[in-house]
Amino acid sequence: MSAALIAIDWGTSSARAYWLDARGDIARIASAPLGVQKVPQSGFPAALTALLGEAPDPRVPMIACGMIGSRQGWIEAPYRDCPADAASIASALTIVPGMPMAIVPGLACRDPSGVPDVMRGEETQILGALDAARDRAIRVVVLPGTHSKWAIVRDATIETFATFLTGELFAVLREHSILGRLAAPGDDAMALERGLRCSLEEDAHLAHDLFSARTLALTGELAPEAVGDYLSGLLLGAELAAGRRWLQRQRVPGTSVQLIGDAVLCERYRKAFALAGLDAITGPADAAARGLWRIAQQAKVISV
């Protein structure tokens, strides 16, 4: 099967390949649990063949984003500093020697104190979402996940961003802390909202509020089946409260937020934003494929 471009979103735990036609439309998708963490340093050519289901065609250009460009990936694609747009990212691709495979750099920024922040893969999803957005006034993009990213975009340029460890905190607390030991499997929308409201209070403080997941369970005010969602609400609420303050410090006016990522997680965030009085719309699916197409166009690596 022929394609104008094979675009690969290659992350920590899995990889997804998109065969794009001459108009950038998705003709075929394949995915495999061959994330960077699961492939030995010399194993990427074989992993690519396994992902594609065939040896790569040397006539079809490929482009990949995500942790594949990290030190633990195939080849390091050094971070590019913010502000960055599709053109500046396209001018900084790293080519895998002997192969028509370009790797997208991650982005780095620094806060006013000089503390660095980084992203890899999200910059491509953001560009993909911008590409598709009809409303160019959308300036704030939130990508929920293990390490949630909040990015400020002006004139199709990623100006700066901030990471929140929400997903990872949830996972380690749920699996390894005393809070997780009190939890039983279950969904509880009320408990999620209760946790959210607690963390959105002005005097909230996460390292204290987290303990309430234990005390409420101890007093029987929170069922074991509700502990997980309450904990999730506390962490998500803390991210929202902090993200909102971060936007104020960046002098971004109260605006609507665009969410990109897993549909279920985005819907969870959308509801949480609504509770916090913020509008959020969910961006396009397959934003990574759209972003990779856009960068490849800029870099003129597409075969048409």
Q: Which is nearer to a second copy, 28 or 71 (CB)?
A: 71
Residue pair 159/252 in contact (Cβ under 8 Å)? The answer is no
How far is residue 260's CA from residue 247's CA, in Å, rounded to a whole number? 18
Q: How far is the CB of 9 from a second copy (least distance, A)?
A: 20
Residue type at position 247: L
Helices (H), strands (E): how many in the chain?
11, 14
In the bound state with a second copy, the residue whose beta carbon lies nearer, of 43 and 116, is 116
Residue 267 CA: distances (Å) to CA of 108, 121, 233, 255, 264: 28, 21, 13, 18, 5
In angstroms, give the least distance from the CB of 3 to a second copy: 34
Using the minimum distance from each CB to a second copy, give the nearer residue, 106 or 128.
Answer: 106
Q: C-beta of 238: minimal distance to a second copy in Å?
A: 6
- 301: three-class secondary structure by DSSP: coil
Which residue number, 61 or 105, has a Cβ lying nearer to a second copy?
105
* Residue 96 near residue 87 (C-beta atoms within 8 A): no
In the complex with a second copy, which residue's Cβ is closer, 57 or 168? 168
**In whole angstroms, how close is the CB of 17 to a second copy at the nearest point?**
26
Question: Closer to a second copy at the Cβ: 20 or 119?
Answer: 119
Distance in Å, CB of 259 to a second copy, minimum: 18
Question: The tokens 């984003």 sit on which residue?
Answer: 65
Cβ proximity to a second copy, 40 vs 58, nearer residue: 40
CB of 204 to a second copy, least distance (A): 9
Report the SS3 class of residue 140.
strand
**225: helix, strand or coil:** helix
Q: With contact defined as beta carbons under 8 Å apart, do 135 and 284 qualify?
A: no
CA–CA gap between residue 228 and residue 204 (Å, rounded): 19
Helix (H, G, I), strand (E, B) or coil at 95: strand
Question: Minimum Å distance from CB 172 to a second copy?
Answer: 4
Binding residues (CB under 8 A) for a second copy: these are 108, 113, 115-118, 147, 162-166, 168-169, 172-173, 175-178, 198, 201, 203, 205-208, 210-212, 215-216, 218-219, 221, 235, 238-239, 241-242, 245-246, 249
Task: To the nearest 10°, report the CA torsion of 43, 45, 50, 56.
Answer: 180
